[in-house]
Amino acid sequence: MRRRGFSLIEVLVSLGILAIVITTTIAMFAERSRRLRQAHEVTLAYQALANEAELWRRVDFKDIDAQPLTFRSDLTIIAPMTPYSASVKIDTPRSDVRNITLTIRWDTAQHAVSLALARADTGGSNLW
Amino acid sequence: MVSGQRTAGSGQESRRLAPCSLSAARCPLRLRGYSLIEISVTLAIFGIFLFIVVSLTAEMRRNEKRWPINFMAHPDISAVVSRLRRDVYDSKYFPDGWQSYSQSNETPIIYTITPASGETIVWDFRTPGQVTRHAWTSNQPQTDWTARGTPTFTTEKYDAPNGQKGIRVTATDDKGKLAIDQILIPRPHD
């Protein structure tokens, strides 16, 4: 056998194994890179959301509806995720409750994280 | 008998290792070496594999450089942020000075309420790679807590849109990228 060289089937099997190894390696690299990027993005996005939530917690309940539906905190930390969009949504399930949802979208809106905040009218000081 | 076997063995070995002309058509492949085309194909396949691995590694490194270091993944560093957040949330005011410390971006001083009484907290960010939290009850030192291997933290006063005073704590990685940015505003207290 060895004196005749390798048969077609031997060569094909070898190339098949090599192809599997190369494909697996490439897929592993790509997946690791993607997950690492996502972890960075989510970590940064949640810091930005937490900062904005901190401001919305402090707004007097009676003034919530009059607030602009935009982020007012500094979003420098999510600059590496440019282009991104940040939005605020206020729902009124009851007259004395406001649900505030903060959302950041990036990667052409394929990825998004949200943070929801429930505010209730305590009738007194701005406790939460 | 024994010597006969040796003789036969020596004969087979000498046949197997007989000199082989490079031009001999019947010469075993391994003894002839590999042809140029065989080596070229092998090197080409290896080169493709090497190129893919190198280019993927370079792409990963480029991608990693784009992002700040995820300090929040380090327990000590996230502990600094969460303890500072709790201190600011529970604070009543920020004294101008305490003991030998003055209120500054590197040594924020916080007076906090506790179930029993109050505590004066000094966060010391002055030593690179280290953060220390000193706590006093009345004038008595209570606890000192130090986190090591931290980035360089800094704080600044933060005025919330509703007029409340807070603290903004930031940290950058060794490439100068903003990695931690937290706005902390005290809870309202009676």
Both tokens of residue B50? 């090497």
Task: Give Rg (Cα) of chain B.
Answer: 36
Digit-coded pLDDT (tens) for A10-47: 888 988 998 898 889 888 888 988 888 888 899 999 99
For B72, half-sphere exposure in the C-beta direction (CA atoms, 13 angstrom radius) is: 17
* pTM of the predicted model as reported, rounded to 2 decimal places: 0.74
The answer to ipTM > 0.85 is no
DSSP three-state, residue B21: coil
CB pair distance less than 8 Å for B70 and A39: yes
B112: left (phi over 0), alpha (psi -120 to 50) or beta: beta
Q: Which of B51, B162, B23, B88 is nearest to A26 (CA)?
A: B51
Tell me the per-residue pLDDT of A42-72, one tens digit each, with 9 for 90 and over. 999 999 999 999 999 888 888 899 999 999 9
Give the whole-angstrom CA distance, residue B136 versus residue B119. Answer: 6
Q: What are residue A7's DSSP bridge partners?
A: none
Q: Which amino acid is at B151?
A: P
Query: Tell me, what's the pLDDT at B132?
Result: 96
- Locus of tokens 């194994």: A17
User: Which chain A residues are within 8 Å of B161, Cβ to Cβ?
Assistant: 55, 58-59, 72
Per residue of chain B (190 residues), give pLDDT as tens: 444 444 444 445 545 555 555 555 566 655 667 788 888 988 998 898 889 889 888 888 888 788 888 888 888 899 999 999 999 999 988 999 999 999 999 999 999 988 778 899 999 999 999 999 999 998 899 999 999 999 999 999 999 887 888 999 999 888 888 999 999 999 876 6
A77: CB partners within 8 A, 6+ apart: A44, A47, A48, B178, B181
Residues making up chain A, counted from first to last? 128
Tokens standing for residue A37: 């990027």
> Is the model more confident about B182 or about A122?
B182
Contact B30/A2, CB-based, under 8 Å? yes
Confidence class for position A122, pLDDT limits 50, 70, 90: confident
| Cβ atoms of residues A94 and A57 within 8 Å | no
Q: Report the pLDDT value the prediction gives residue B183, as an integer from 0 to 100.
A: 94
Largest CA distance in chain A: 95
Query: Which tokens hold the place of B119?
Result: 């505590």
A2 and B162 in contact by Cβ < 8 A?
no
Give the Cα separation of A98 and A78 in Å (integer). 27
pLDDT of amino acid A26: 85
Q: What is the pLDDT of residue B190?
A: 60
To the nearest 10 degrees (0 to 180), the angle between helices A8-58 and B36-66 is 0
> How many degrees, rounded to 5, is the angle at CA B163 between CA B157 and CA B165?
30
End-to-end CA separation in angstroms for chain A: 82
Confirm or reject contact between B60 and chain A (CB < 8 A).
yes
pLDDT given for residue B5 in this prediction: 45
Looking at residue B60, what is its pLDDT? Answer: 81
In Å, how far from its chain's centre is CA B10?
64
Facing B181 at nearest CB: one of A32, A51, A128: A51
Q: Where are the beta strands (DSSP E) in chain A?
A: 84-94, 97-106, 111-120
Q: How far is B77 from chain A (nearest CA, A)?
A: 14
The H or E element that residue B165 is part of is strand B165-172
> Residue A65 in 3-state DSSP?
helix
State the Cα–Cα distance between residues B87 and B17, nearest whole angstrom: 84
DSSP designation for B85 = H
pLDDT at B34: 79
Contact B164 A58 (CB under 8 A): yes
